[in-house]
């Protein structure tokens, strides 16, 4: 059987449902973003597929998989249980994966070889043997978009020399005003970062109040922060559907059609 291998741009991978063929999927960026690479067979060298030392997050479906830093399953290796791993940094293998293979279902693995348990579970929606499938009507779909991000940078400004020391009261007032401004600008995950940035920038500007402008100017680094709207594309879709009078909820990587496929219990199936 030829390897099922992909290297394309993904919209998102926060969904609880995956295709049956997707056994292990590596993503170029954290939180299942960027290009992804999927396989259901051993890969001795990611270099052959242009994905060597690129993986930053991974989704493991059904089986356990051994992930190694070097080709040929050498170097530091960890065993991943089924689940979603939004970051490989804690395992020490971020951007350092070169080979992967499934662990035999009957193999015994020492506890110290396992990676920490996945923080995000995965739902295996492949069709079971002889399972009868049905169509369930979708009643609502909600696209979930990431919150605004914070971007900070350092600017070099020309500051006039002081005649008799810094204007301490001005520095304090400037820091307070800057902090309030930063807190108002910040939103979501970046609020605290924006507040700190505001205090730094405000303090730097406030300290220059009341200085004499005579004499040569000097350079000073000032941190600035701003709120950047997230991209319009959703991270995932919250989907509600009904089956046999009961309401169900799932999350999907792509928007559904008017119906979804389920089994007799109303569980989603691919």
- Picking from 151, 146, 43, 61, the residue whose alpha carbon sits closest to that of residue 98 is 43
User: pLDDT value at position 234?
Assistant: 73
What is the C-alpha R_g of the chain?
26
Look-up of token digits 């940094």: 89
- Picking from 63, 62, 65, the residue whose alpha carbon sits closest to that of residue 78 is 65
Q: How many CB atoms lie within 10 A of CB 194?
A: 25
| pLDDT tens, residue order, the chain (270 aa) | 333 333 322 223 333 343 344 479 999 999 888 888 989 899 999 999 999 999 999 988 878 999 999 999 999 999 999 888 999 998 999 999 999 999 988 899 999 999 999 987 777 787 888 899 999 999 999 887 766 666 777 777 777 666 555 454 444 444 343 333 333 333 343 433 333 333 333 444 444 444 444 566 677 778 778 776 655 567 678 899 999 999 998 888 778 899 999 999 999 987
Architecture of domain 6-113: Sandwich (2.60)
User: pLDDT value at position 63?
Assistant: 83
DSSP state of 81: -
What gap in Å lies between CA 72 and CA 165, rounded to an integer?
A: 65
User: pLDDT value at position 229?
Assistant: 62
* pTM of model > 0.85: no
User: pLDDT value at position 220?
Assistant: 79
Q: What DSSP letter does each residue of 124-181 carry, written as one string? A: --PPPTT---EEEEEEEEEEE-PPPEEEEEEEEEEEPPPSSS--HHHHHHHHHHHHHH
């Amino acid at each position: 059987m030829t390897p099922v291998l992909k290297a394309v741009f993904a919209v998102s991978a926060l969904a609880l449902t995956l295709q049956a063929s997707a056994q292990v999927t590596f993503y170029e960026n954290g939180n299942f973003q960027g290009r992804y690479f999927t396989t259901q067979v051993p890969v001795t060298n990611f270099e052959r597929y242009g994905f060597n030392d690129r993986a930053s997050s991974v989704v493991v479906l059904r089986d356990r998989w051994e992930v190694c830093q070097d080709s040929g399953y050498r170097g530091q290796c960890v065993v991943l249980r089924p689940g979603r791993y939004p970051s490989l940094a804690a395992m020490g293998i971020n951007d350092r994966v070169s080979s992967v293979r499934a662990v035999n279902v009957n193999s015994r693995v020492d506890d110290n070889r396992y990676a920490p348990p996945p923080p995000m579970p995965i739902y295996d929606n492949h069709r079971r043997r002889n399972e009868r499938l049905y169509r369930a009507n979708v009643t609502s779909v909600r696209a979930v978009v990431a919150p605004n991000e914070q971007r900070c940078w350092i600017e070099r400004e020309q500051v006039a020399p002081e005649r008799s020391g810094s204007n301490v009261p001005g520095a304090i007032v400037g820091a307070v005003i800057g902090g309030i401004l930063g807190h108002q600008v910040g939103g979501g995950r970046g609020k605290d970062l924006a507040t700190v940035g505001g205090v730094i920038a405000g303090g730097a500007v406030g300290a220059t109040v009341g200085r004499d402008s005579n004499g040569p100017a000097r350079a000073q680094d000032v941190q600035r922060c701003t709120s950047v709207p997230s991209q319009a594309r959703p991270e995932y879709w919250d989907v509600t559907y009904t089956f046999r009078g009961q309401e169900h909820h799932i999350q999907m990587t792509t928007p559904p059609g008017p119906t979804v496929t389920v089994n007799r219990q109303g569980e989603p199936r691919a």
